[in-house]
Copies of this chain bind each other. A is one copy, B any other.
Amino acid sequence: MSGAATEPGIGVNPGGSPILAGFAGRLLAETRELIDPSLLAAIDELPPRVRLVAGYHAGLWDAHGRPGGHPGKALRPALVLSCGRAAAGDVDTGPSDRLIEAAVAVELMHDFTLLHDDVMDGDAVRRHRPAAWDVYGVAYAVLAGDTLLAVALNQLSRLGVGIDTLAATFLELCLGQGTDLEFQGRAEDPDLSRCLALAEAKTGALLGCACQLGAMVTRGSERETTPYREFGRHLGVAFQLTDDLLGIWGDPELTGKPVHADLAARKLTLPVAKALTSGTSAGERLRVLYATAGRLGQDTARMADLVEQADGRAWAQAEADRRAELALDALDRARPEPGAMAELRALVELARHRDL
């Protein structure tokens, strides 16, 4: 993805992707340092085996609880912190304890969705390692997910901010996942706008929630913080498009997933949905391959070529750029503090040119 063209004229360091990725990378690393102590403290209170599973999944330790893990990117907590500081108009002092607690709640919520989604989708690899259900069994993956969700809700309850917002997001995620599970078997009848709506429900919803929660912690009112939610929702769709591109053309070393895994599983990702609905002969050939349960390997490389020929790749990148612009428009309406604005712009760039 690092070679992708930068959309000109939107005022975010055109062509500066590597530098921005570096800034965003540092921002995410700082976020991990800020939230990990609270995240660990929350997980430490759980019953021993649930604690082991949750901490393994979160990348705090290996499968036996020994040092060494591979934590997530911390994108969502970074959004909580940056949006919180943006809304407070105060980026020079560090984030408050309350903001950090909200960021941890959002990360726990994200971990919950990953734990359950991996069970439902049968995905056996997560964050470069075997998925929790594959290591500890389905029972513990389900329970660890439930428990992290419960901790997240109670953390916001204690803060007195945003439990209703998180609950609404949780419902939207569930409805999205329900629609997604029903779609997966229907690559023969794809609907691009429905797939985009699904990306907004599944990824956009939680990013929107992260941004709004951060702003709510420092600004209070839910109404005032609506632009932050809109920012996060557009950003989430951009991220999903980039994720889908990485799922086909990304380096497995960087994505933590097997090459072409989404194609092998015949997932109806956004570039694939675009290709299948393109009306091109490449799209038709892709449709035939997608309908054939498969010897994997070579087939998936051929599929990737067909997605590209049928405009799936270029369209997804352009749509990611378009969503990124919409995100920036929403952010402008929120009139954030300038220092935090720079952080948020860096995360927007990350969303469309991710090489992390």
Prevailing SS type, chain A contact patch = helix
| The stretch of A146-154, A293-301, A310-318 that contacts the partner chain | A146-154
* A137 to chain B: closest residue by CB: B120
Contact yes or no, B157 A168, CB < 8 A: yes
A-B contact pairs, 13 of them (CB 8 A): A119-B139, A119-B142, A120-B142, A120-B143, A140-B181, A143-B178, A147-B171, A147-B174, A147-B178, A157-B167, A157-B168, A163-B164, A163-B167
Kindly provide the distance from the CB of A122 to the nearest chain B CB, expressed in whole angstroms. Answer: 8
A67 at interface, CB cutoff 8 A: no
Contact yes or no, A154 B171, CB < 8 A: yes
* A285, B151: Cα distance in complex, Å: 42
Residues of B within 8 A of A231 (CB): none
How many copies of the chain does the oligomer comprise? 2
Residues of B within 8 A of A157 (CB): 163-164, 167-168
Instruction: Report the count of interface residues on A (CB-CB < 8 A).
Output: 37
* A86, B161: Cα distance in complex, Å: 31
* A173, B150: Cα distance in complex, Å: 9
Kindly provide the distance from the CB of A65 to the nearest chain B CB, expressed in whole angstroms. Answer: 15
Residues of B within 8 A of A143 (CB): 116, 120, 174, 177-178, 181
**Which of A139, A168, A179 has the most chain B CB atoms closer than 10 A to its own CB?**
A139
